[in-house]
Structure 1
Amino acid sequence: MPTTKALSDFLKEQPQNKIGAVAAFIESHIRENWQEILVKENDRLLKAYAEAGDPAYGTYLNLLLLPVHRQLNEAGLRPEPRLPGNFDISREWGRNPDQSDQERWMWSTLHPTEGPPVGTIVTVTYHDHTRFRIPRQPGIIALTETGQQEIVEVLSRMSADFKQALEFSVEYENYLRSLEQ
């Protein structure tokens, strides 16, 4: 599943915009591999969904992004947290009342071996809560912001849905409280 070019090639083409180069590399990798992973790992992913539900999407993203992690490591970049990001602070919303077309935004900040972070990669995952299905290619957003508050502010300006959605940990806490009542 190698992409057309290595991350190092993207970085050479855009030396002044590392986060943009990384985003372009990840987008290229996703474009070339997102459906192939679904086909190749179909039985494994369907089994994971049958046994655990939505965590199967995490399995999918791990399979899809593993080569990206290797390239980041070779380029001296470390995502924190690991791509696609911290599920607890991610935000999700949907287009359909039956939750068959959901969108979750998670992010990771990229740190070089030395120096300040180079930016943040936001991974947009489209998925279905009624069955295992990824209706369209995952998306990537590159941000120069690296602080949690700044990231949330920028994403809130980019998307009214993001702004209105709760962090997963808050949403889950509310759900647990509703069960007690």
Structure 2
Amino acid sequence: MSQAQSLQELLTESSEPAIFAIGRFIEAQIAENWQRVLETRHDRLIDTYHRLGEMVYGAYGEFLFRPIRQEIKQAGFRLAPRLPGEFDISREWGTEEDRQRWMWSTVSTADGTAIGTIVVKYYHDHTEFRVPRPPAILALTETGKDAVVDALSRHSSDFNQAIEASIEIAEYLRSLEMQS
């Protein structure tokens, strides 16, 4: 996967809560791999963009996060939903050329005890396939949708004002029905 420290090594050496060590691990993996994934998968990602539009960012996320998820699992943790998170409850805002979408996954121990949440901040472009900067990570001790939304709303007024994706899509579909 990389030359960086393994998650298990990081957890063993860290005195901080595990969720923050996991967040630092993910940040390091993204810093090391985000551009490489764009370069090595460029043709496939461009083809996906031309066929499916913005769904390409989900494909990019799969390529980027698959090895990270595997290492988290090997360290004895579970993710729900799988990293980078569930699209339906995500929120997005920004200009067409510089959007950000925040998604999240709850991290649990092997016995099912939730230890926190990893938030992924995706930066992307709606006018072409472009990832202007690496995804950012925010580790939270909060778990559960309501607690995470409250924490993120305190963290970012933009997040607080953004609409959940499932609601935004439903409103868009209603507007199309009204036009016909």
* Runs of 4 or more consecutive aligned structure 1 residues displaced over 6 Å after TM superposition: none
Query: Secondary structure of the residue that 1:103 maps to in structure 2?
Result: strand
> 1:30 is matched by which residue type in structure 2?
I
Query: Secondary structure of the residue that 2:103 maps to in structure 1?
Result: strand
Query: Secondary structure of the residue that 1:166 maps to in structure 2?
Result: coil
Distance 2:15 2:118 in 1: 17
In angstroms, what is the RMSD of aligned CA positions? 1.0
Instruction: Report the alpha carbon displacement of residue 13 of structure 1 after superposing the two structures with TM.
Output: 2.0
Distance 2:165 2:11 in 1: 33
Is 2:123 the partner of 1:126? yes
Contact 1:3 1:29 in 2 (8 A): no
> 1:42 is matched by which residue type in structure 2?
H
Cα distance, 1:178–1:115 mapped onto 2, change above 3 Å: closer
Q: TM-score, normalised on structure 1?
A: 0.96
Equivalent residues, number:
178
Q: Deviations over 1:35-72 (max 9, x none)?
A: 00001100000001100011100100110011111111
Task: Structure 1 unaligned segments of length 5 or more: list them.
Answer: none
Q: Percent identity?
A: 49
Query: Secondary structure of the residue that 2:123 maps to in structure 1?
Result: strand
The equivalent position to 1:177 in structure 2, one of 160, 174, 179, is 174
Q: TM-score, normalised on structure 2?
A: 0.96
| Partner in structure 1 of residue 163 of structure 2 | 166
How do 1:6-155 and structure 2 match up within 5 A?
A: 6-94=6-94, 96=95, 99-155=96-152
